[in-house]
């Protein structure tokens, strides 16, 4: 069995990444690709948790900008992450991967309540754990959820799977001469105001020394490359 660099990781999937080329919902080829890639790393013994966003269905910030109460808009966003988590669970189970959805908001008919020790126990048994409903609190992003859960379960890295292949100084989809960073430290991300991850999440990762690897989910095989320590995307750390 190949030796991976990281033994326990959190994969942060944006809702936009699940949508692929669509504006809304899921692109099933991407769900299938993610499931195959997760299966690869589970097979080499990597304990894998996933935090999924909800931006392909609803963005709380957008609702708030239109005059909706911010807390209400954020709770709607949390429910969107649960829909994504169930879709991802189904895709993973089609690959014969034992999977559990743990929700920060109790909805026992479809997900287990989030309990830290239960999550760790599932991981130790080789199950993939999907964290849904964010932190269960408004005003916190799913980036912050990934950083918080990574600290709680003592994950060795956060794999930020996005539609772009790393961190740039401006939007590479709009600017063809955007500069890609190979590595950054946490302070650089904060000082430059780079939009790859919010400041609360960056600070949590810095305080707990959790590295982040930002890479494209659209290229199959990248998740395994990241856990093996290959140089892909952008590395954020000390």
C-alpha distance from residue 6 to each of 2, 86, 97, 112, 211 (Å): 12, 26, 20, 26, 11
- Quote the pLDDT of residue 172: 82
3 within a domain of the structure (yes/no): no
12 in a structural domain? yes
The reported pLDDT for the residue numbered 215 is 95
pLDDT reported for residue 25: 87
Q: What is the pLDDT of residues 39-68, one digit of tens each?
A: 999 999 999 999 999 989 987 667 667 788
pLDDT at 140: 93
Amino acid 77: pLDDT: 93
Tell whether 1 is covered by a domain: no
In which domain, by residue range, is 204 found?
8-237
- Is 70 exceeded by the pLDDT of residue 160? yes
User: In terms of DSSP bridges, do strands 99-103 and 128-132 run parallel, antiparallel, or are they unpaired?
Assistant: parallel
Say which CATH number the domain at 217 has: 3.40.1160.10
Which DSSP state fits 219? S
Buried b / exposed e over 138-147, threshold 16 CB at 10 Å, is bebbbbbbbb
Enumerate the H helices of the chain as residue ranges.
15-19, 28-43, 60-65, 70-94, 116-124, 142-153, 186-192, 199-207, 222-227
Q: How far apart are CA 42 and CA 97, in angstroms?
A: 8
Question: The whole model's pTM is what?
Answer: 0.93
Query: Does some domain include residue 88?
Result: yes
pLDDT digits (tens, 9 = 90+) for 191-227: 988 878 899 999 999 999 999 999 999 889 999 999 9
pLDDT of residue 99: 98
Mean pLDDT in residue range 164-169: 90
* Number of domains the chain is built from: 1
Domain membership of residue 92 (yes or no) is: yes
Q: What is the arithmetic mean of pLDDT over 84-96?
A: 97
For the stretch 139-149, pLDDT in tens is 999 999 999 99
Across the chain, what does the average pLDDT equal? 93
Looking at the domain assignment, is residue 41 inside a domain?
Answer: yes
pLDDT, one tens digit per residue, over 123-137 is 999 999 999 999 999
Residue 98 CB neighbour total at 10 angstroms: 12
Domain membership of residue 179 (yes or no) is: yes
């Amino acid at each position: 069995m190949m030796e991976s660099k990281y033994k326990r990781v959190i994969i942060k999937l944006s809702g936009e990444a699940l949508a692929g080329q669509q504006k809304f919902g899921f692109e099933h080829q991407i769900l299938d690709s993610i499931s195959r890639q997760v299966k690869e790393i589970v097979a080499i013994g990597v304990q894998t948790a996933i935090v999924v966003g909800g931006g392909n269905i609803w963005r709380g910030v957008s609702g708030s900008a239109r005059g909706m109460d911010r807390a209400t808009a954020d709770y709607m966003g949390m429910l969107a992450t649960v829909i994504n988590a169930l879709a991802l669970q189904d895709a993973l189970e089609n690959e014969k991967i034992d999977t559990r959805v743990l929700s920060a908001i109790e909805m026992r008919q479809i997900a287990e309540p989030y309990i830290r020790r239960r999550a760790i126990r599932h991981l130790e048994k080789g199950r993939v754990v999907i964290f849904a409903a964010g932190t269960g609190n408004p005003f916190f992003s799913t980036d912050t959820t990934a950083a918080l859960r990574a600290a709680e379960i003592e994950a060795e890295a956060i794999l930020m799977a996005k539609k772009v292949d790393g961190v740039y100084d401006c939007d590479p989809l709009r600017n063809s001469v955007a500069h890609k960073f190979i590595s950054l430290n946490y302070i650089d991300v904060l000082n430059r105001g780079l939009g790859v991850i919010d400041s609360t999440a960056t600070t949590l990762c810095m305080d707990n020394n959790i590295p982040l690897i930002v890479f494209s989910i659209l290229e199959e095989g990248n998740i395994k490359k990241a856990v093996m320590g290959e140089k892909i995307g952008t590395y954020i750390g000390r």
